[in-house]
Structure 1
Amino acid sequence: MYLKCLIILLSYVAHGSTLVSKCDQTPPLSDGTPPSIDKGLFHLVIEHAAMRDDKIFYTPDQTYVLTINAANSSRPFRWFMITAEDPAVDNSVFEVSRKVVDVGSLKTLDDDSKSRYSERCASTVENIDSSDKTWVEIHWVSPKQSSPQQQIRIRAMVAENREVWYTGDNLTILLNMEDSKRKDSPPLPVREVCTLCSEARYEIIFKGQWSRVAHPRYYPNKPDENGYSHLIGASHGNNFTMWQQGAKATKGLQLLAEEADVSVMEREIIDAMVYPEGTRTLIRGKRRHHPYMSLPSQALFRTDRIHHMFSVAVAMRPSPDWFLGIYKFELCNETEWLDEFEIPLYPWDAGTMDGVSYESPRSMSQPGDNIERVEVGSFNRKSPFYQLNLNDLQPFAKLQVRRLDVYPLIDVDCSKNGEEESESMDIQEDAPQEPIVGETKQKLDAMERCDVGVWGEWSPCFPREGVCGPGSRTRIRSKRNLFETESENKQEEESTGSCPKVTTEPLIQNENCFINCF
């Protein structure tokens, strides 16, 4: 029988499976005595978790503080264990599973002399010595991703001596995954297809709220150097990603987050205007520096059934590579464009520079990390977010989006669904292509000499510092469709007087300007 079990066990290990069993929390020096009746002498407590209807909820990728407290200081404990586990391990002595449930991780404090990671059980912390204790603290970091029905159990054991030890309800916490949206989640899910037969014009307002009062821990020593970069973003379709959690930062986002420079990101947005379902409107708002950081930064943009979402970013100075923003904010609903919404913003880490605080010495991350939230709930005492849960952190800004106008599409057949359009495109792609010769080649050669549009209007003047004084303004033009007719190109030549000779002509221009301070 023993040999048979061993063969089965080796078979599962060979195929990459994992044995999952319930942690035996019996004290290592126990004489075999079963646990005593739990009389409430010791309690396991979790901080920052939400409670509703007698249930406790956790939010993914958050830090929670766990403590074991003795109700009476005259009854200390010597040994303890704390285990994070899947409640399903109770179903059998051990369970063979190809996929271990992520139950998060338990973390000891840097200066903690009471606890260590257990070698007996996974996801378990235990005592270092047998000295008397009336209180012990560790951290639990919830899993980054959980299924909606996921439950996690935190179970503790406390031992006064070899004969007297406790487990039970007062030392057990059952956690349910929070099913409500995070405070900084957009109201609508991202849609693959927007069926609205209209366009919309929106106003976006960025309102800074980073201050010594709201964020006192390690607030920069020289607040006069504090500031936000220009608000930069785009309305776009499904084929454009300005930035996204879990992805690598583009060159534009890297320069924005590290140097508060929007120039490369502007280029990325403008270049994407020629892509199907790329970008439509370049969003650009004023930058704000101390003491005007609370003043709003505003911009206008348009959306349509192709470009039905927007993304924006604002760099924070000083910081290693932190920024605020939102990505793929959907504006298209089943029946109408979103009317109005306000969303709080919290810092993101571009993953390109190391640093734990606003004024940390910066060094390049090797290798570069993905874009993630700044380490809220950090275990580093030098961090402004030490032991802070996202639910307890004050927002660093608020972003308001407000619909101004809706324009019905005229002479446009909106009855076609995405499937019909896709089939039509497939037919065109499968059709045999004629060689480019003779007159056809001449037309394409002519269009190559005129493949950019006319200049748009100049943007408002954006001051380099504060709200007035010298600044700069921008105007842009888009690349032309290479399949426009020769007559259209000739018409543009007549209206503009000249046509660029090469495709490398600039698509954006900047010039100096001045805003009167009186």
Structure 2
Amino acid sequence: MDPKRNTLSTSGPLQHFAIVTLALTLSFLGHGVHPMPVPTEAPICTASETAHYSLTFTGKWTQAAFPKQYPVYRPPAQWSNLIGVTHSSDYHMWQRNEFASNGVREFTEKGEAWTLIKEIEAAGERIQSVYGIFSAPAVVGGTGQMHSEFEVFARHSYLSFIVRIVPSPDWFVGVDSLDLCDGDRWKESVSLELFPYDAGTDSGFTFSSPNFETIPQDKVTQITSSFPSHPANSFFYPRLKHLPPIAKMTLTKIKKTNQIISLPLEPTQSNQLPTGNEIEDTLINTPLDCEVSVWSPWGLCKGKCGDSGVQHRTRYILMQPANNGAACPPLEEEKKCFPDNCL
């Protein structure tokens, strides 16, 4: 039996990715349809041959780096599958400070990729701006890795991808239109630290917030240690100037093979759990200060008539400190008083 044919018989969403990839590539290359030239204002790639890259996505979402409301169950911190596309400069899967498409909305909120795939297909058919689609399997854990390979050529030298943060309202990480061509040659390697983005379609503040549609829809914005500034925000760390990176992407140019695209169809143990020295960065410990509620009203004044008494008020802990963050202040307070309505 042909091993390639056996691989493509795998059912599920990744089968669809493989079919779309082959269909797009055959449509553009095998049927004589020539891609439209990139806009004149964009840098023009003059590399003569195609290039193959290996992509490694590394999660850096640890409880030490992001201690506030870190999800440990139902579900624990993890990453969705990666959806990537190679394209020309006139296409964008998503853009900062622009509205997310319906496909991006469904993917970032629910992890459903069908509408996003259809949008990519439509762009490839309409303006011939998409060369290929690829994916990588989900990571069951905040610090695992996933891998994939893809191909680019001169008129489609850009890379974009998206990965959903799970759980979250509509948060994701990704890359928008990274040009892998430098004049007449391909970049040998690229390494980027990734930070969280808000798709602007759900108004939840915490990882486990219930669905709360944003009306009207907001634009895609980067989440920082101070934005959104609501103290309930899971990424709100007012003591930090910048958030630590939550993930990392590494690209390495590899030798050309006979495959158009290498598409990992089955998750493996190495995709799900880091082993050895896969996570090579120094462990980041983000200080988390204690957070307490507002004071309760003062209680009744307790004491004998004619003498001073004492009344109390209390507050409770909203967030325990972590990583040498500020300790909790006193939770109880008292003051002298004189009993009312004494006979």
TM-score class, shorter-chain normalisation, is 0.5 to 0.7
What pairs with 1:113-124 in structure 2 (closer than 5 Å)?
Answer: none
- % of aligned pairs identical? 25
Q: Which of the pair has the greater relative contact order for Cα pairs under 8 Å at 6+ separation?
A: 2
Partner of 1:383: 233
Partner of 1:53: none
CA offsets per residue over residues 24-79 of structure 1, 9 Å max, x none?
xxxxxxxxxxxxxxxxxxxxxxxxxxxxxxxxxxxxxxxxxxxxxxxxxxxxxxxx
**CA positional deviation for 1:267:** 2.3
The change in CA–CA distance for 1:339 and 1:200 in structure 2 (over 3 A counts) is: same
How many residues of Structure 1 are paired with residues of Structure 2 in the alignment? Answer: 229
The one-letter code matched in structure 2 to 1:461 is L
Counterpart CA distance in 2 for 1:339 and 1:250 is 32
**CA positional deviation for 1:467:** 6.0
What is the aligned counterpart of 2:249 among 399, 408, 426?
399
- Paired residue secondary structure (2:53): strand
Partner of 2:62: 211
**CA positional deviation for 1:245:** 0.6
Please report the RMSD computed on the Cα atoms of aligned residues, expressed in angstroms.
Answer: 2.7
Unaligned runs of 5+ in 1: 1-189, 408-455, 469-518
Partner of 1:246: 97
**CA positional deviation for 1:357:** 1.7
Partner of 1:200: 51
What is the aligned counterpart of 1:359 among 200, 205, 208?
208
Counterpart CA distance in 2 for 1:305 and 1:265 is 25
The one-letter code matched in structure 2 to 1:239 is D
The change in CA–CA distance for 1:273 and 1:345 in structure 2 (over 3 A counts) is: same
On the 8 A contact 1:277/1:307 being kept in 2, the answer is no
The one-letter code matched in structure 2 to 1:399 is M
On the 8 A contact 1:270/1:282 being kept in 2, the answer is no
The change in CA–CA distance for 1:367 and 1:464 in structure 2 (over 3 A counts) is: farther
Counterpart CA distance in 2 for 1:238 and 1:260 is 26
On the 8 A contact 2:87/2:129 being kept in 1, the answer is yes
Residue 30 of structure 2 is aligned to residue 226 of structure 1: no
- Paired residue secondary structure (1:288): coil
On the 8 A contact 1:376/1:390 being kept in 2, the answer is yes
Residue 158 of structure 2 is aligned to residue 309 of structure 1: yes
The one-letter code matched in structure 2 to 1:334 is G
The change in CA–CA distance for 1:296 and 1:305 in structure 2 (over 3 A counts) is: same
- Paired residue secondary structure (1:381): coil
On the 8 A contact 2:163/2:172 being kept in 1, the answer is yes
Counterpart CA distance in 1 for 2:131 and 2:155 is 9
**CA positional deviation for 1:300:** 1.1
Counterpart CA distance in 1 for 2:261 and 2:54 is 18
**CA positional deviation for 1:390:** 7.5
On the 8 A contact 1:289/1:466 being kept in 2, the answer is no
- Paired residue secondary structure (1:300): strand
On the 8 A contact 1:322/1:349 being kept in 2, the answer is yes
Counterpart CA distance in 1 for 2:261 and 2:244 is 39
Counterpart CA distance in 2 for 1:344 and 1:390 is 17
On the 8 A contact 2:192/2:249 being kept in 1, the answer is yes
Counterpart CA distance in 1 for 2:90 and 2:200 is 23
Counterpart CA distance in 2 for 1:275 and 1:395 is 36
Counterpart CA distance in 2 for 1:277 and 1:196 is 19
Counterpart CA distance in 2 for 1:390 and 1:191 is 36
Counterpart CA distance in 2 for 1:461 and 1:271 is 24
The one-letter code matched in structure 1 to 2:138 is R
Q: Which of the pair has more CA radius of gyration?
A: 1
Counterpart CA distance in 2 for 1:466 and 1:340 is 22
Taking structure 1 as the reference length, the TM-score comes to: 0.41
Unaligned runs of 5+ in 2: 1-40, 273-343
On the 8 A contact 2:198/2:221 being kept in 1, the answer is yes
Partner of 1:260: 111
Partner of 1:278: 129
CA offsets per residue over residues 412-461 of structure 1, 9 Å max, x none?
xxxxxxxxxxxxxxxxxxxxxxxxxxxxxxxxxxxxxxxxxxxx999443
